[in-house]
Amino acid sequence: MTALLLHGYASGIYSSRRNAKAAVERADFMIIVAGDPPDFRTISEFRKRHLEAWRVCLFRC
């Protein structure tokens, strides 16, 4: 999930729904999710659950 979100940010995709859509339609995202695309709710919940860790990671990187 972390790789999916980081690749999404690097590709200019910030929305959970757009990440989920890209995981079904784009080959680069399909490789990351290994053919098992998560639902947008799963992506959103992951992001909310790990919000503080994301802030630290994104500001240090």
Beta carbons of 33 and 23 less than 8 angstroms apart: yes
**What pLDDT score does 40 carry?**
97
Q: How far, in Å, are 3, 5, 51 from residue 60 at the CA level?
A: 17, 16, 14
Is residue 61's pLDDT more than 70?
A: no
pLDDT tens for each residue of 3-52: 999 999 999 999 999 999 999 999 999 999 998 999 999 999 999 999 88
pTM of the shown model: 0.85
Owner of token pair 């503080």: 52
The residue type found at 22 is A
CA angle (35, 36, 40) in 5-degree steps: 125
